[in-house]
Structure 1
Amino acid sequence: MGLRNFLLCTYFITSFSIAYSQVQEINWLSFAQLEDSLTVKPKKVFIDFYADWCAYCKKMDKAAYSDPKVIALLNADYYAVKMNTESRDSIVFGGDIFYNKEFGQKRNPVHQIPLLLASRDERPFTLPAIVVMNEKFQVIKRYFEYIPPKKILKVLE
């Protein structure tokens, strides 16, 4: 094999290795995208509510949401939504408008959507908050804790 062919072969192998080794990402949707997607093709929904200051939320990003098996399961079987609980955005979903009523009134204001979907009766809203829903957008389970990759795989299966 000549030097030119060797260099070309090395280039293609290196390029393929780099492309293959790049970690896939979860296809996170907004609530507007979720509504459109559910209309076209019903599918289970996985919602991750987070805040920029939440250490366990960041830990889930680094551990659970970067795990290739978790990424593959979420992208294949779920519509995954990631929402900052302190968002100031007004969100139209299901014909209703949701917004952050607490903005400007509390130190860590929580948007209406996480309050609606991830609140518990006797306890205040806490993070991280994960909501798993069926194809009909009905809550199956809620989690209010850091979930490591192995456990989140069990949740998703």
Structure 2
Amino acid sequence: MKNLVLTFLLTVITVGSVAAQEINWVTLEEALELQKKEPKKIMIDMYTVWCGPCKMLDKNTFQNKEVAAYVNENFYAVKFNAEGNDVVSFQGKEFTNPSYDPAKASRRNSSHQLSRYFQVNAYPTIVYLDENADLIAPIKGYQTPTQIELYLKMFANNDYKTLTTQDAFNEYYLAFKPEFKG
């Protein structure tokens, strides 16, 4: 009987975890290595530990199964604490947070050099890089699944390359038909 209950619980846990699609987060260095083997764009979630909208983005958007499946298929996803203390090597440079204060680890801290490099001045900001790790765009603010879908598809499909004016983007935006639910 004990084995039957254990088997049932393991089945429920396994089925539940299969149903909940999760984004495969990697470090920036891992994403850059993966790009060498299979070129994909990189999506970097630049968050902070104290940011409420960042937590909403995690819960409401990144946990959405359609968002997660699309991101996993088309991007290498990186989660980066924009006020953290990580040392990051990127494009031949080392980025740190020289003013980081460990006493402020759970609240506002100084900005990481990589955050400034990517022009991040609000949280959350999602930074998109192309297959060569060149900056496409930093997109500021909380986004629902249907809002982020526009950017995910625009960048994954290279549509952004033809949107050279604000009018062209506005036309693209108005014509876009979201498919993600949520």
Task: Tell me if TM exceeds 0.5.
Answer: yes
| Structure 1 stretches of 4+ moved >6 Å | none
Higher mean displacement: 126-135 or 52-61: 126-135
TM-score by length of 2: 0.70
1:152 lines up with 2:153 in the alignment: no
Cα distance, 1:88 vs. partner? 1.1
For structure 2, the residue ranges without an aligned partner over 5 or more in a row are 154-182
SS at structure 2 position matched to 1:45:
strand
For residues 126 and 36 of structure 1, what CA distance do their matches in structure 2 show?
Answer: 28
- Is the Cα–Cα contact under 8 Å of residues 45 and 78 in structure 2 kept in the other structure? yes
Listed as ranges, the matches of 1:105-124 within 5 Å are 108-119=109-120
Greater Cα offset, 54-63 or 126-135: 126-135
The one-letter amino acid of 1:93's match is F
Q: Does 1:93 align with 2:87?
A: no
Matched-pair identity in %: 34
Q: What is the alpha-carbon distance in structure 1 between the residues aligned to residue 26 and residue 132 of structure 2?
A: 17
Specify every segment of 5 or more residues in structure 1 that has no aligned partner in the other structure, as ranges: 1-7, 120-124
TM-superposed deviation, 1:134:
1.7
Check whether the contact 1:91–1:98 (CA below 8 A) recurs between aligned residues.
yes
Aligned CA RMSD, in angstroms, stands at 2.5
Q: Distance in 1 between matches of 2:89 and 2:132?
A: 18
Counterpart for residue 127 of structure 2: 131
Q: TM-score, normalised by structure 1?
A: 0.80
State the partner residue of 2:28.
Answer: 31
Contact 2:32-2:133 at 8 Å conserved across structures: no
Which residue is 1:62 aligned to? 59
Greater alpha carbon shift after TM alignment, 131-140 vs 78-87? 131-140
In the alignment, the residues of structure 1 paired with residue 135 and residue 78 of structure 2 have an alpha-carbon distance, to the nearest angstrom, of 14
Q: Indicate the SS of the match to 1:153.
A: helix
**Could you say which structure has the greater relative contact order, defined with CA pairs below 8 angstroms and 6 or more residues apart?**
1
Higher helix share: 2
Local SS of the residue matching 2:94 = strand
The structure 2 residue matched to 1:21, chosen from 16, 39, 43, is: 16
